[in-house]
């Protein structure tokens, strides 16, 4: 494995995080192939949407990967398109999920997304298994999507039949992560995510005027305030603190029973890496911590395997392993 060395112009965590969200010259914006959409019904009447793309030459029984976006993203997030395209070139069929209330799932949902909804990830994985019988299934989650994936795997060891998993920049300890957002430059991301969530709620209300929701005026100034005033009461928790402690995935790491890789940067402005390091974990879980990389950044020198996206290379390396020639 080539160690991560940040691009010489992108050595700060903030630059890595910001550029990580951008499309660099020469990168594919969207898939040019055929995409089939599958609805995944949930027990409460809501539904997720899977965006399914076949790899060239893929046959029944070939490898499959589920890609799970982070907070505020959806199945159209640039990193999911990039990594999906790279996986398909390696012969892996990819399915990108729209989590509850985001992207194409929004008009199919009345309930709201929150960080404890790992049942939704289990439902998506079971749907992939039903669509692709006999296929080895792999999964990758990014940021909060990675947290949900780890939580699902730890809560139901043996129930979810997947071959391997990857989580990139997962905020496994939610309480420690929101505390970190209050430190230094983290406050910029705190305000950004709070505004993003308020906007998301407003969009849902405009789309469905029958929704009755807690008032968000004046707008919450940070994530904790948003969760105290909106997420906790909507999800049935007494407070934001109870919500964080009930929804974390750090305590699930010691129950994961499939090969699982976690990639995170020491300078991540969102993730409390120390809490993850200290947590008990099963022999199946490997945590790889780089010195730099920001949050879902990991933009490297151009000569790293010919790809500046070091994060993509790690995910593809893991999920496409053994796929050639199938």
Give the model confidence (pLDDT) of 116-140 as tens digits. Answer: 999 999 999 999 999 999 999 999 9
Q: Domain of 311?
A: 13-173+250-319
Q: In the listed set 225, 247, 269, which residue is the last one of a domain according to the structure?
A: 247
Structural tokens at position 189 = 């991301």
74 preceded by a cis bond (ω within 30 of 0): no
Indicate if 183 and 106 belong to the same structural domain. Answer: no
- Of 247, 274, 306, which marks where a domain is finished? 247
Residue 67 lies in a domain: yes
pLDDT tens track for 15-25: 999 999 888 87
Asked, for residue 325, whether it belongs to a domain, the answer is no
Element spanning 98, H or E: strand 93-98
pLDDT, residue 28, reads: 66
146 lies in some domain: yes
Residue 326 included in any domain: no
Spatial CB neighbours of 79, under 8 Å, sequence gap ≥ 6:
20, 21, 142, 296, 311, 312
Residues 231 and 200 in one domain: yes
Same domain, 110 and 156: yes
User: Which stretches within the chain are classed as H helix?
Assistant: 13-20, 78-89, 118-131, 144-155, 174-180, 186-207, 223-226, 232-235, 240-247, 273-278, 310-319
Q: Which residues of the chain fall short of a pLDDT of 70?
A: 1, 28-33, 302-306, 322-326
Q: What is the pLDDT of residue 102?
A: 95
Report the domain count for the chain: 2
Give the pLDDT score at 326: 47
CATH of the domain at 151: 3.40.50.1820
Q: What is the pLDDT of residue 322?
A: 67
Same domain, yes or no: 95 and 119: yes
């Amino acid at each position: 494995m080539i160690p991560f060395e940040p691009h010489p112009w992108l050595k700060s965590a903030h630059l890595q995080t910001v550029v990580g969200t951008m499309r660099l010259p020469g990168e594919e914006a969207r898939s040019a192939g055929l995409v089939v959409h599958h609805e995944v019904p949930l027990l409460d009447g809501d539904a997720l949407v899977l965006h399914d793309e076949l790899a060239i030459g893929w046959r029944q029984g070939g490898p499959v990967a589920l890609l799970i976006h982070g907070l505020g993203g959806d199945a159209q997030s640039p990193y999911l398109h990039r990594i999906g395209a790279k996986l398909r070139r390696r012969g892996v069929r990819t399915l990108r999920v729209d989590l509850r209330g985001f992207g194409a799932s929004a008009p199919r949902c009345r309930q709201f997304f929150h960080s404890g909804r790992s049942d939704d990830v289990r439902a998506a994985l079971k749907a992939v298994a039903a669509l692709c019988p006999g296929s080895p299934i792999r999964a990758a989650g990014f940021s909060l999507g990675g947290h949900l994936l780890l939580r699902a795997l730890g809560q139901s060891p043996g129930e979810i039949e997947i071959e391997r998993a990857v989580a990139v920049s997962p905020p496994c300890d939610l309480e420690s992560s929101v505390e970190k957002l209050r430190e230094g430059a983290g406050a910029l991301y705190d305000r950004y995510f709070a505004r993003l969530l308020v906007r998301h709620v407003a969009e849902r209300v405009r789309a469905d005027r029958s929704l009755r929701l807690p008032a968000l005026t004046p707008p919450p100034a940070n994530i904790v305030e948003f969760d105290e005033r909106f997420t906790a009461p909507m999800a049935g928790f007494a407070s934001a603190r109870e919500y964080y402690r009930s929804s974390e995935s750090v305590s699930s790491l010691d129950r994961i029973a499939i090969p699982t890789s976690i990639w995170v940067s020491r300078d991540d402005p969102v993730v409390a890496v120390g809490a993850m390091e200290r947590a008990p974990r099963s022999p199946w879980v490997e945590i790889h911590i780089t010195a730099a990389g920001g949050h879902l950044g990991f933009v490297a020198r151009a000569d790293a395997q010919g790809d500046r996206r070091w994060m993509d290379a790690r995910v593809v390396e893991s999920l496409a392993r053994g796929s050639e020639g199938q």
